[in-house]
Amino acid sequence: MVTTATPPPPPTSNAAPRAVKKPFYRSLWGQVLVGVALAIVLGYLRPHTAIAMKPLGDAFIRLISMIITIVIFCTVVTGIASMQDMKKVGRVGGKALLYFEVVSTLALLVGLVVGNLVHTGAGFNVNPATLDSKAVANYAGAAKAQSVTDFIMHIIPTTVVDAFARGDILQVVLVAILFGFALSAMGRRCKPLLEVFEALTQAVFGVINILMKFAPIGAFGAMAFTIGAYGIASLGPLVKLIATFWITCILFVLIVMGGIAWVAGFSIIKYLIYIKEEIVLTLATSSSEPALPTLMEKMEQLGCSKALVGLVVPTGYTFNTDGSSLYMTLAALFVAEATGIHLTLGQQLTLFAVAVLTSKGAAGVQGAAFIALVGTLMVIPTIPVAGMALILGIDRFMSMFRATVNMLGNGVATLVVARWEHELDPALLQRNLASPDAWRQQVAIAAEVPGAPQ
């Protein structure tokens, strides 16, 4: 009886230390939060010094951007090439696009409803002729009307190298899908090349892990510039618009995405805790791009297949623009109301219809949603485009939340599509979300124990 009673305690005692969480100051999200807090203090006390910190944020975003296309290419190619059922690729893509269209359109509708209920532009009575239209001119030049044919042609790169040189995510996805299908069709002949891609994938994620060490510095630089350049005081008369948008974003995540998550079998709160590093990083940099590689990695850790993650997440950065959609209709109504333009129900529906098209592609890059909104107003002459100058100064504060909602929506979409494809076991998903560090513990045990499953 003594010999049978002694074996259980060692595993329990060994497992306990592994379950101990890292101290706050040693975790990535904790360090990023500290960086953001220091940036806010510096921006408030020494604005000129804070503005000089901008290169730190820009450099970090550029470091992540330079590796994103390789991450996507390797992930999609290895995922598709290792798939047995090629029909699944098309099925996953179709389901993802359907989900993106429904949810982003719902976000546009929510923004329209909130704008009509709150009336954020009431009391401004601004004469459009007195506004500085030159400030919006640069964005108007970038916001050219694009037909469906133009959009499709844009997806096709001039050359394979050009897709990577430009960093165009959709073009890279197209090239990767073609390579993946080709490797899968050729079978064993391409196995050595597939192994090279798989090894390259591991190396690339190793680079990402190194670059993420600089995330606190990048977040510090980006937030310091934001506070130093625009200042808390600049929020002034537009604080109602900012507060309304922030609250709308939070409620959209908790209620709309929360409802979708509940139907899919997981908790939105546990999901938010699971990707807290990505949330803090996106808020600090006002861009969802820096969070893309680690978001893809975490989706795989939850059990989503590499091919599904490679298809859904990058494509979602163009088509699944929940935060940008909320912003576009709400901001458009603000500009109309602030400049004394009364929009009829028909005009609002026209605005809604145009925004459905122009909102696509308004993710990832800073300011893309602002450009898309300028393009929307150019199509609807009733609302003066010059009115966008009213919110140009606070766009950085708006982009913090719209980029974060975009990023959150891509993660939710990936899990939902994975559940539709029966890739994720609900119980396992709940367990992984409840214990975010469980996968790290499993990897550590596998590395330490000879013969442990990898």
- Mean pLDDT by 10-residue block, N- to C-terminus, for the chain (454 residues)? 46 44 65 82 85 84 81 80 70 86 91 89 69 56 56 76 78 83 77 81 83 83 79 70 92 94 90 89 82 86 84 81 87 84 83 77 56 73 75 77 90 91 80 66 45 42
Cα–Cα distance, 203 to 76 (Å, whole number): 15
Split into its structural domains, the chain has a count of 1
pLDDT, residue 5, reads 46
On whether residue 437 sits in a domain, the answer given is: no
232 falls within a domain: yes
Q: What is the DSSP letter of 384?
A: -
User: Closest Cα to residue 333, out of 345, 348, 355?
Assistant: 348
414, 312 Cβ separation under 8 angstroms: yes
**Is 441 domain-assigned?**
no
Rounded Cα distance between 350 and 376, Å, is 10
**Residue 266 belongs to some domain of the structure:** yes
Of 387, 410, 321, 303, which is closest to residue 106 (Cα–Cα)?
Answer: 321
Domain annotation covers residue 231: yes
Token digits of residue 356? 């459905």
Domain extent, residue 52, equals 24-423
At 135 the pLDDT is 54
Distances (CA, A) of 140 to 51, 380, 391: 26, 13, 15
Whether residue 158 is contained in a domain is answered as yes
DSSP state of 303: T
CA–CA distance, 86 with 88 (Å, rounded to integer): 5
What gap in Å lies between CA 323 and CA 363, rounded to an integer? 9
Specify whether the CB–CB gap between 418 and 253 falls below 8 A: no
Q: 436 in a domain, yes or no?
A: no
Contact 305, 90 (CB under 8 A): no
Q: Report d(CA 128, CA 130) in Å as an integer.
A: 5
Tokens of 107: 């976000």
Assign residue 240 the CATH number of its domain.
1.10.3860.10
Tokens at residue 20, please? Answer: 């101990």
Q: What's the pTM value of the predicted model, to 2 decimals?
A: 0.76
d(CA 379, CA 306): 40
> Are 277 and 29 spatial neighbours (Cβ–Cβ below 8 Å)?
yes
Confidence at residue 199, expressed as pLDDT on a 0 to 100 scale: 85
Domain-located, residue 361? yes
Instruction: State the Cα–Cα distance between residues 39 and 60, nearest whole angstrom.
Output: 15
User: What pLDDT score was predicted for residue 287?
Assistant: 78
Chain mean position to CA 138: 25
Per-residue model confidence (pLDDT) at position 25: 60
